Amino acid sequence: MAIPQRLETLTSLPAEALVSAKELSILSGRSRASIWRDVQAGRLPQPIAIGPQARRWRVSDVRAYLNGGVS
């Protein structure tokens, strides 16, 4: 799957920008289920609730996750 244009330059996005599970799945090459397992295991911080059924991660957390660490 292609990386969405706004995520092609992840390093230039503000640290407070938000990324969805779908976008994180594309960036990391992991399934959404694997991403949620990583949250449960503490390898990825809990996402921010932006609505009743919508969760997003801060770009700063995503950068740390993709670099192998937890922010």
Question: Does residue 1 lie in a domain region?
Answer: no
pLDDT band at 2 (very low <50, low <70, confident <90, very high): low
- For residue 39, being part of any structural domain is answered with yes
Q: Give the count of domains, the chain.
A: 1
- Residue 61 CA to residue 71 CA, distance in Å, equals 5
Four-CA torsion 35, 70, 41, 6, nearest 10 degrees:
-10
Residue that the structure tokens 């932006």 belong to: 50
How many degrees, rounded to 5, is the angle at CA 32 between CA 29 and CA 35?
80
Instruction: Tell me whether residue 32 is in a domain.
Output: yes
| pLDDT on residue 12 | 82
12-50 tens-digit pLDDT? 888 899 999 999 999 899 999 999 999 999 999 999 999
Please say if the pLDDT value at position 71 is more than 60. no
pLDDT value of residue 1: 62
Residues of the domain holding 24: 17-66
The reply to whether 62 falls in a domain is yes
**What is the pTM (predicted TM-score) of this model?**
0.83
26-40 residues labelled b (16+ CB within 10 A) or e (exposed): bbeebeeeebeebbe
What pLDDT does 18 receive?
Answer: 94
